[in-house]
Amino acid sequence: MGYSRFDRPSAQRKALLRGLVTSLLKQERIETTLTKAKEAQSICEKMITLAKKDNLAARRRALAYISEEDVVTKLFETIGPRYAHRSGGYTRIIQTRQRRGDGAPMAIIELIQPDR
């Protein structure tokens, strides 16, 4: 099995990942559990690759997944062009600590600064 189910029904799992990806693109850096960060990374990379095309169909596909219109605008107007000369690897995951309550490994996922 190549993905995590997070012990949630599929609708809740999809909503969780949509929220994580939206927050990551909005704030460019978030802290979450390591497993959630790995899942969100894969989807976020695909969204940035989509943003590099910048046509109507790409915008509609991004808007179907990302829940906020201003985040889609930011994705296509600033984030996509920022990585125009890069073919992947737009995000990085940095492991930070163990969560106090349940000991879950925490991580920071962030957009990297492109080489200029």
Task: Note the Cα 50 to chain centre separation in Å.
Answer: 12
H/E element holding 94? Answer: strand 91-98
Q: Are the beta carbons of 36 and 16 closer than 8 angstroms?
A: yes
Note the pLDDT of residue 1: 45
* Residue-level pLDDT, tens digit, the chain, 116 residues: 456 788 889 999 999 999 999 999 999 999 999 999 999 999 999 999 999 988 999 999 999 999 899 999 999 999 999 999 988 899 999 999 999 999 999 999 999 987 75
Give the integer Cα–Cα distance in Å for 23 and 84: 22
Among positive and negative, which fits the CA dihedral 47, 49, 50, 55? positive
Please report where in the chains the tokens 């073919």 appear, as a residue.
87
Architecture of the domain spanning 10-111: Alpha-Beta Complex (3.90)
Q: Are the beta carbons of 109 and 32 closer than 8 angstroms?
A: yes
DSSP strands (E only) in the chain = 29-33, 91-98, 105-111
Tokens of 12: 């809740």
